[in-house]
Amino acid sequence: MGFLRRLFGSDKKKSSQGDVQGLYFFVQCDNCGARVRLRADKQYDLNRTDDGYVWHKTIVDSKCFRQIPTEVHLDGNYNVVSAEIEGGHYITSEEYEAPDRPPPSPPELMDEGAPQRR
Ligand SMILES: [Zn+2]
């Protein structure tokens, strides 16, 4: 009966990274620096053009609520050809997940037993 578990196991993996319908974009607001992750549905959000697709979206971030209109052109394989955006800029998924501030100094550098130097 091991095959049942294997079936369920692969299903679980599918749910986390099998979003074939979705395209993900990462945008940062120029005004407040808020980062926004956007999902465009290939079937419902993209409009067909002569040579690919176009995606229109007005992004509203969750910090200053300023509207950030964008227009992204994609080729027939959903690769971004050009992107226009007002009031914000596109960032990578790595930049989106990066912490706001640099991490604190490693604990081994802070020796609590040493006298404080002034
Ligand atoms: Zn903002």
Domain assignments of the chain as residue spans, ordered by start? 20-99
pLDDT digits (tens, 9 = 90+) for 7-46: 554 444 444 468 999 999 999 999 999 999 999 999 999 9
Is the pLDDT confidence value at 4 over 60? no
Q: How many CA atoms lie within 13 A of 102 on its CB side?
A: 2
Q: pTM score, two decimals?
A: 0.69
**Ligand 1 ion: nearby residues, β-carbon < 5 Å:** 29, 31-32, 34, 61, 63-64, 66
How far does the centroid of ligand 1 lie from the alpha carbon of residue 69, in Å? Answer: 12
How far does the centroid of ligand 1 lie from the alpha carbon of residue 67, in Å? Answer: 8
- Backbone phi, then psi, for 43, in 5-degree steps? -85, -40
pLDDT digits (tens, 9 = 90+) for 87-116: 999 999 999 999 876 666 666 655 666 566
How far does the centroid of ligand 1 lie from the alpha carbon of residue 90, in Å? Answer: 13
pLDDT at 110: 59
